[in-house]
Amino acid sequence: MHKPPEKKRVITPLEKLLGEYCDYLEIEKNRSLLTRDNYNRYISRFLTYACDKHSVQTPAEITSHVVRKYRLFLNRLTTQNAKGVEETLSVSTQNYHVIALRGFLKYLARRDIDSLSADKLEVGKNPDRQVDFLDPEEVERLLDAADGKDLASLRDRAFLELFFSAGLRVSELVSLDRDMINLDRQEFSIRGKGGKVRIVFISDTAKSALERYLNKRQDIDPALFIRFKENTNPHADNTSLRLTARSIQRTVKKYATKAGIVKDVHPHTLRHSFATDLLHNGADIRSVQAMLGHSNITTTQIYTHVTNQGLKDVHKKFHGKQ
């Protein structure tokens, strides 16, 4: 018995435009594949809602009323986290949806396609960010927790040292290859968010940790940080064993627990600690901005808890003395 041919799904005009917009982000705007995927997911959620709830089929049918109702929908939307617990979308996540939609509307306007003006969309105010960072004693305990002499322990100590030395994002760390690192000059360039390249620096302790780790590597994998299989050739299957961001996250948490640190420590905590340490020791915020690769100084200003404390100490020391 022959099965009837499946009906081919018809791509709507809006879906077609979304695909073209994602191509535009990748090619003309030089956005990463991750950014492309995120924007595609955020805008697809809007298009699905607008079609199902308001029968929107064309750009001209996107109105302020539809967007307003969509934002209420986002605010009340619940999803399941990794532990199966239902939770609502954070304000910042909702804002990412709005920012993506606003970019899509700007793209439509650039192509002279009639739709809602992007100026009609106002991004909500994010709550003040609380920056979790480790104090110097906690950083030392975390680093010392990776005290093994086996190859995996040497690797872990090396990437922990490099995190704190260079203020890297986890995505930047896992992308590193061995030939990208110049241990003699103790610096290297990294391509961060938005394709921006910046120079980062390797401390003396990070250099030593990397040398101990790399001197013990016997494989030919180009990745700087790889996973190791017991009793096997790490490169036998001819595929890269590059560590994933998730593996890095789990490992950082493991050593934080071993070090007895009660804070919720993750890779970005070390990036925060890097910035906090610089400011605490007198670095100006513009220099910290450059070393973190922030395109906007307002992003770096989340670390004003350090500079504010410094000002408070100056005030206490010098003001009101008789």
Q: Residue 268 catalytic?
A: yes
Active-site annotation holder among 54, 106, 178, 193: 193
41 is catalytic: no
Residue of 36, 155, 169, 272 marked catalytic: 169
9 catalytic? Reply is no
Name the active-site residue from 31, 71, 271, 272.
Answer: 271
Q: Is 303 a catalytic residue?
A: yes
Look at strands 86-88 and 187-191 and give their pairing: unpaired
The answer to whether the Cα torsion of 157, 161, 164, 168 is positive or negative is negative
Show which residues are catalytic. Answer: 169, 193, 268, 271, 294, 303
